[in-house]
Structure 1
Amino acid sequence: MSTPALRVAIIGAGPAGIYAADQLAKSDVDVSVDILERLPVPFGLVRYGVAPDHPRIKEIVKALHRVLARPEVRLLGNVELGVDVKLEDLREFYDAVVVATGAKADRELGIPGEELTHGAADFVSWYDAHPDDPQEWSLDARHVAVIGVGNVALDVARVLAKTGAEMLTTDIPDHVHRGLVAKQVTDVHVFARRGPAYAKFSPLELRELNHSPNVEVVVHPEGFDVDEHGMAHVQQHKAQKMVLDTLANWVGREPEGKPHRIHLHFCEAPVEVLGTDGRVTALRTERTHSPNADGTVTGTGELTDWEVGAVYRAVGYRSTPLVDLPFDERAAVVPNDGGRVLDLAGEPVAGLYVTGWIKRGPVGLIGHTKSDAAETVRHLLADTEPAAPHREPAAVDAYLAERGVEAVRHDGWERIDGHEIALGEAAGRTRVKLATRAEMLQVSR
């Protein structure tokens, strides 16, 4: 079998990386693609960033599976850039490299006492059973604060409020179920700096918040103001209007007497986390005016201390620097022009590209990721000529084997996938995740 005209490595097997592989495989160019993923399993934040009680969102995995099964695409899992392979070494085997490592770190609030808080991404990694994160999580606080009004904040609030029994129908492994059964949470308070017209929840995610038989959603009327700027904003955004209508219908509802509650507070900006002996005792917020025309808010000076035992910040994800790649710390992305990586002088680096959140920041939905990949691949194909000196797939395999790297191929992933589905069938569920890297590697063999 002859070596394809173009050899491309993609770093990261989340949606961004897999969509880029799909674009390359569907192009008119004779190309082969290796997707290098540091975990033994693919799918990135679809597997480790979506709440387990949202299987609808995970339906995208079916399409991603089909891409990985294409003959032009190889999965090399359990291979980490900067640890198992250097970027300069990849240039020996590939004509171009596309970095699609996404964003997993939490953004910071920049307020006193922030060191006492939990990052939402860390909590999501725990309940999604990320193999590189601890299996223990303390949930002994009865009253908890969540800062942020995006879908991740809703996921965190919902998982904190729902019972462990409700979550047992999902793909969570035993250690997550035990932790959720043991939790003491009765009330989750979600805080937004701005008014309800600017909430970033998607309409469906918000409505699903109210579906649990054990969780009551309470929208507090204080701060629930929509001025002319807010009305103009929702008129320009259909989804925002749907969110506002749902929230407005919930204001002032009669209590239903459910055992757990999610409280939504608007126009309350966090200013300090209070605590003693390393434990949170309260969150201090400042009432804000309704947003200005540009969406910014102004504090009123009215402070409130909310007695909570834990604070979760869900104010966005952030990408982190990668070995041997330029990085813009301010924007938290790899500097690029349409996916072409730029050096410190602003000049394109030959053969090096980015796509997804590491390219444009952690914003947008799956559709944006597809268009991102299309733009990057278009530039890659226009720029790249076969140039790598050791272009046969066997050369990469030998390189990894010499370094003792146990790469998980597509058949290994299929064994893991089948094993998890079998565990789920035995428990009357769709799937039960393997929780550790060692388990995954054992099953993959």
Structure 2
Amino acid sequence: MPDVAQPSGTGPRPLRVAVVGAGPAGIYAAEALAAQDDVPVAVDLIDRLPTPFGLVRHGIAPDHRKMRALRETLHHTLDHERVRFVGNVEVGLDLSIAELRRHVDAVVYTYGAAGDRALGVPGEELPGSLAATDVVAWYCGHPDADRARVEEAVARARDVVVVGVGNVALDVARVLVRSPAELDPTEMPQHVLDALAAAPVERVTVLGRRGPAQATFTTQELRELGHLADATVLVDPADLTDPGDDALAAGDRHVARNLAVLHEYAAHTAEPGRPVVRLRFHARPVRLLGTDRVTGVEVERTTVDADGRATGTGELDVVPADLVVRSVGYRGHPLPGLPLDGGTVPHRAGRVLREGEISPGEYVAGWIKRGPTGVVGTNKHDARETVASLLADAATERLHTGGDPDDLVRALQARGAQPVLLADWRAIDAAEVALGATRGRDRTTLHERAALLAAVRAAAVPGVALDRGTADSTP
């Protein structure tokens, strides 16, 4: 698409739509808009990062290479003539919502739910206590990752406790005990690979406050733990004796499959010299122990009632921990000027509600619409619902079309912003592939914003090579 998001020709003026967030939800919304033929559209797909794909790039664990390949499918939408990628632009900082709306007829907010949920227990603020979002951002090479804080914690982590029994919790546990040979082919930045190779991890305990039948991880993710090259997965057989779990399994194939895998793990025994991943259920953290940093987690035994609620029994014990990672859910953050209620934007069929009333021209999709639920593909149906509402409003002239005739990208550049367009993203993509090739990999993630933008500048000046030191500096 040309730099101006207006199709050439003498046809009718296109409906100008800005999609805020270039993760799966945003790309699926752009796809739904671009694929229909009833209304001519011009879509600006805006992201605060210089790179697209959101959690596909910065959330799916790098050792899940097939899952991360989804970006190749998502890229088809970026290549569509009706869609323009506008990265490195933060709505609320580089321009306000009000300013953005002057350039477009409608805005679809799809910026996700990147915040973490706290445990709400004493000691959670101690050094060595991290959110899974921090760890995932680090090993995925997110530009905003707190590298120093995470690497300091990982370097001490002989005993690790991961709180939560969803897929992200298992991702963190798995990555921490993967062997260097297993991780070396991945896209992880070199400093991440080096830190993980040097980490002294011997034991990872994954805590679930309810029983195994209530765990939310997928069977595929659970099975993957059993194929680790240098680690053993353990489950206490006593955690698998609740008759209520058998009743749930009888009516739910997913639960039945999970329990079958867990029974396999219950037959495992620890092996000398091999790290251990212990899946522990009916275990609720009540306090993080330590003075200057985390040294352990006080855990209370629980029971689960008929409604699936966990109740403490008063039976306590302590799990040693040099690192505690909480993985108990994501939460949406407010965008300046956008209403938020309990971590999501209030809406009706994707139409944003302000003080209970529909706000014309404002829509929402993805996690910031429905909360952090579902898999990547769930966003496609979700986005289609929202786009259907938007197109219905356009057909009934509920949108206040017209807007500022100035082009959005030119306006951003005039105020000193550095929008990254599709050609610029291609330069970043090529630089990552080239960097990976120097290490025998398909790709290595550029993890610093400065390195990402340097790749853009290098491509703009023939003969200028990307500084490999900048691309992956290691102190």
Answer yes or no: is the 8 Å Cα contact 2:101–2:403 preserved in 1: no
Q: How big is each residue's C-alpha offset from its partner over 1:360-415, in whole Å with a ceiling of 9 and x where there is no partner? A: 000111232111101100001111346443465x6212211111111111111111
Superposed, which structure 2 residues align to 1:418-437 within 5 Å?
418-437=430-449
Question: What's 2:143 paired with?
Answer: 131
Answer yes or no: is the 8 Å Cα contact 1:129–1:135 preserved in 2: no
Say yes or no: does 1:13 pair with 2:22: yes
- 1:258 Cα offset (Å): 5.1
Q: How big is each residue's C-alpha offset from its partner over 1:66-120, in whole Å with a ceiling of 9 and x where there is no partner? A: 0100000000000000111111111111100000010111111111111122100
- 1:306 Cα offset (Å): 1.1
Question: What's 1:90 paired with?
Answer: 100
Q: How big is each residue's C-alpha offset from its partner over 1:111-160, in whole Å with a ceiling of 9 and x where there is no partner? A: 11111221000110011111122332221121110000000000111111
Change (3 A) 1:207 1:387: same
Percentage of pairs with the same residue: 46
Distance 1:387 1:334 in 2: 21
Provide the alpha-carbon RMSD of the alignment: 1.5
Distance 1:410 1:251 in 2: 50
Superposed, which structure 2 residues align to 1:291-330 within 5 Å?
291-328=304-341
Question: What's 1:342 paired with?
Answer: 353
Answer yes or no: is the 8 Å Cα contact 2:232–2:268 preserved in 1: no
Question: What's 1:276 paired with?
Answer: 291
Residue of 351, 376, 392 corresponding to 1:366: 376
Question: What's 1:352 paired with?
Answer: 362
Say yes or no: does 1:287 pair with 2:301: yes
Q: How big is each residue's C-alpha offset from its partner over 1:403-438, in whole Å with a ceiling of 9 and x where there is no partner? A: 111111111111111111122223221210111111
- 1:254 Cα offset (Å): 3.5
Residue of 377, 387, 397 corresponding to 1:377: 387
Answer yes or no: is the 8 Å Cα contact 1:91–1:97 preserved in 2: yes
Question: What's 2:131 paired with?
Answer: 119
SS at match of 1:79: coil
Equivalent residue letter for 1:142: R
Say yes or no: does 1:37 pair with 2:47: yes
Superposed, which structure 2 residues align to 1:90-109 within 5 Å?
90-109=100-119
SS at match of 2:17: strand
Question: What's 2:243 paired with?
Answer: 227
Say yes or no: does 1:407 pair with 2:419: yes
Answer yes or no: is the 8 Å Cα contact 1:13–1:35 preserved in 2: yes
Equivalent residue letter for 2:192: V
Residue of 44, 63, 66 corresponding to 2:76: 66
Answer yes or no: is the 8 Å Cα contact 2:212–2:259 preserved in 1: yes
Segments of structure 2 that go 5 or more residues without pairing to the other structure are 1-7, 458-475
Distance 2:30 2:241 in 1: 46
Superposed, which structure 2 residues align to 1:114-193 within 5 Å?
114-116=124-126, 117-136=129-148, 137-138=151-152, 139=154, 140-193=156-209
Answer yes or no: is the 8 Å Cα contact 1:109–1:313 preserved in 2: yes
Instruction: Name the TM-score, length of structure 1 as normaliser.
Output: 0.95
Question: What's 1:253 paired with?
Answer: 268
Equivalent residue letter for 1:167: L
Distance 1:68 1:226 in 2: 50
Instruction: Name the TM-score, length of structure 2 as normaliser.
Output: 0.89
Residue of 211, 217, 220 corresponding to 2:227: 211
Equivalent residue letter for 2:210: R
Distance 1:210 1:258 in 2: 17
Q: How big is each residue's C-alpha offset from its partner over 1:182-204, in whole Å with a ceiling of 9 and x where there is no partner? A: 21111100011111111111111
SS at match of 1:222: helix
Segments of structure 1 that go 5 or more residues without pairing to the other structure are none
Distance 1:130 1:210 in 2: 28
Residue of 262, 281, 299 corresponding to 2:277: 262
Distance 1:313 1:4 in 2: 50
